[in-house]
């Protein structure tokens, strides 16, 4: 199964994300956003870790809030996170640790994660799918 795919959109970046579980969906959403930012990592590589804790109203808002927090940490620390380990994962709360690398620069400037036509649902085969639009 693919982790994510980039969809066609007029002005912005639209990504469809897949996951065998909801937790995996969130992990792949992180990967999709980080790879889309086209990070140029520092050489020699410098590993980095950050704690995150998010609380929201529902799964959809939780996904946007989670990615918004990652975006904030990426931009202010100049770091790209490709992995997350969750210590807590519920419908409206997550807690965990991000793993990534220091970057020289980002090739794409993602400015915000939006709720525009946001979709997150479990499919008939029990796997998860989400569509998110990023303001670039």
Partner 1 sequence: MISKKDFIKINDWLWEIPKSFRSDMRVPSRFYVSEEMLEDVFRDKSLGQLVNVATLPGIINYSLAMPDMHEGYGFPIGGVAAMDMKSGVISPGGVGYDINCGMKLLKSEFTETEIRPYLEKLGTEIQKEVPSGLGQGRQVKVDISSINKILEEGAQRLVEQGYGEKEDLENCESQGRLGRADATAVSDHAKNRGRDQVGTLGSGNHFLEIQKVDEIFDENIAKAFGLFKDQIVIMIHTGSRGLGHQIATDYIGLMMRTMGKYGINLPDRELAAVPINSSEGQKYFSAMSCGANYAWANRQMITHFIRKAWKSVLGEKSSPLVALYDVAHNIAKIEKHLVNGKETEVCVHRKGATRAFPPEHPEIPLKYRKVGQPVLIPGSMGTASYILVGQKEGEQAFYSTCHGAGRTMSRHEATRRMSGEEVVKSLELKGIIVKCWSARGIAEEAPQAYKDIHKVVEVVHNAGLSRKVAKLKPLVVIKGE
List contacts with partner 1 (CB under 8 A): 6, 8-12, 56-57, 61, 64-65, 68, 72, 75-76, 104-107, 109, 111-116, 118, 133, 135-136
Partners of 41 in beta bridges? 103
- Provide the minimum distance between the beta carbon of 9 and partner 1 in the complex, in angstroms, as a whole number: 6
Minimum CB separation of residue 126 from partner 1 in Å reads 26
Identity of the residue, 25 or 110, whose beta carbon is nearer to partner 1 in the bound complex: 110
**Which residue, 49 or 119, has its beta carbon nearer to partner 1?**
119
| Cα 108–chain centre separation | 15
Nearest approach, Cβ of residue 124 and partner 1 (Å): 25
Instruction: Closer to partner 1 by CB, 10 or 126: give it.
Output: 10
């Amino acid at each position: 199964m693919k982790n994510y795919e980039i969809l066609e959109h007029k002005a912005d970046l639209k990504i469809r994300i897949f996951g065998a579980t909801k937790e995996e969906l969130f992990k792949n959403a992180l990967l999709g956003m980080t790879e889309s930012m086209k990070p140029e990592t520092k050489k020699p590589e410098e590993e980095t870790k950050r704690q995150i804790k998010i609380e929201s109203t529902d799964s959809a808002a939780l996904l946007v809030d989670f990615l918004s927090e990652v975006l904030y940490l990426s931009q202010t620390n100049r770091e790209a996170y490709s992995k997350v380990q969750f210590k807590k994962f519920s419908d409206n709360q997550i807690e965990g640790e991000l793993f990534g690398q220091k970057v020289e620069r980002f090739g794409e400037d993602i400015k915000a994660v939006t709720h525009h036509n946001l979709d997150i649902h479990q499919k008939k085969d029990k796997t998860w799918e989400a569509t998110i639009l990023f303001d670039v």
